[in-house]
Amino acid sequence: MSEKRTIGVIGAGSFGSAIANLLAENNKVLLYERSESVREAILRDGKNRNHVMHGDIEVTGSLEEVASRCYLIFPVVPSQYFKSMIMEFSPWLRPDHILIHATKGFHCEFDIDTMKPEDLKLKQIKTMSELIREETCVVRVGCLAGPNLAAELAEHQPAATVIASRFDEVIHEGQHAMRSDRFQVYGNRDLLGIELAGVLKNYVALASGALSGLGYGENARALLITRGMGEMIYIGKALGADKRSFLGMAGIGDLIATCSSPKSRNYSVGYRVAKGEKLEDVLASMTEVAEGIRTLKIGKLIVDHTHANAPLLQIMNKVFFDGFDFDKAIKMLMRVHVAADAEYLDI
């Protein structure tokens, strides 16, 4: 049998570790981790962030080594660090590399706390695939998104994801690398739509966690998820995405998972804040990033600029950043008039 190829993963957080383990079922994996102490702990213990690391995973602190040994690479880095990482990585990347990122967040070329909607230019808000194309010579770019809670992947539970790209070979390479008996991989050509689906579900998950923290039940959550998906479609359409991308695994699939599970970081943040903890204390206690907080702020700028229909996003901004009462927010949302069910499918 031919020797297994080596695939790169950038970032050894919880989700990066899960991706590395999935890839290692079919390939050898070179996992980049900046921290020397984390690398040493993985080598010593064979574990990282509650993941038992596969024997075919090798750890490195060199981006140059990843670029030289791997042509298929999965960057899994929080959005606020993604640009600095890709700029550092850029000198060693080649046009023949394939990059499939798994980051569910936006990059902004401005201070999100001081930007005014009337001054905003949408091109200042970038997806991770746009950053890769702008900062590197890599052309074949994709993203991975879906209902992929890292804690469940660590338990080897069955799951599925979507790999999106404008290039068929990116989808095929990603599917070949990741698909297994426990992990199904679907393809999609709407790269922007799949990226936006993965990002926008974050703020709905915050709201869902808050709903649970207040003691509301599954009827209310079903309402929240359904109307939240409608908002995601409105915002996605305003940014040029295909609404069908929000109706599949990376849209409604990911939305259901992250809005229903305490294992979701965004759900947990919403739950704890609704229980009375201060947002800054909750965030300070977390070892990994909850992208929903940035998504709320950036999403509000997008909605105010494009006038997309997103009352949940607007009210959650008031709750998390202006001290607005949760119960009053829910009552306000219940009074929002909607002419027909699933009207967002007609836009």
Q: What is the pTM of this model?
A: 0.94
Helix 292-306 / helix 191-213 crossing angle, nearest 10 deg: 110
What would the CATH number be for the domain defined by 6-189? 3.40.50.720
Question: Which residues are registered as beta bridge partners of 125?
Answer: 108
Q: Which of 331, 335, 219, 315 is nearest to 270 (CA)?
A: 315
> Would you state the structure tokens that stand for residue 115, as one six-digit string?
């930007």
- The full set of domain ranges for the chain reads 6-189, 202-341
pLDDT at 346: 85
Strands 125-126 and 183-188: unpaired
Distance of alpha carbon 15 from alpha carbon 12, whole angstroms: 7
Percentage of the chain modeled with pLDDT above 90? 90
Q: Give the relative orientation of helices 191-213 and 128-135 as an angle to the nearest 10 degrees.
A: 140
pLDDT of res. 339: 73
Spatial separation of the C-alpha atoms in residues 97 and 72, rounded to whole Å: 6
* Residues acting as catalytic residues: 201
* Tokens representing residue 197 in the block: 């689906």
CA distance 343 to 347: 8
String of DSSP letters for 67-121: HHH-SEEEE---HHHHHHHHHHHGGG--TT-EEEE---S-EESS-TTT--GGG--
CA distance 58 to 122: 40
- Distance between CA 285 and CA 238 in Å, rounded? 35
pLDDT score of 2 more than 60: no
Task: Return the bridge partners of 73, or none.
Answer: 8, 99
Hey, is 234 helix, strand or coil?
A: helix
Note the pLDDT tens digit of each residue in 20-33: 999 999 999 999 99
DSSP 3-state of 321: helix
User: What pLDDT is recorded for position 1?
Assistant: 43
Assign 3-state DSSP to the chain and report helix, strand, coil percentages, each to 5.
Answer: 55, 15, 30
| Mean pLDDT along residues 45-56 | 96
Q: Are 12 and 38 in contact (CB under 8 A)?
A: yes
Considering only CA atoms, which of 213, 327, 219, 330 is closest in space to residue 276?
Answer: 213
pLDDT tens-digit map of 145-204: 999 999 999 999 999 999 999 999 999 999 999 999 999 999 999 999 999 999 999 999
Which residue in the block uniquely carries the two structure tokens 């998820």? 225
Class of domain 202-341: mainly alpha
Q: Is the pLDDT of residue 219 over 70?
A: yes
pLDDT above 70 coverage of the chain, percent? 99
- Least Cα distance to 204 among 312, 299, 320 occurs for 312
pLDDT score, position 262: 93
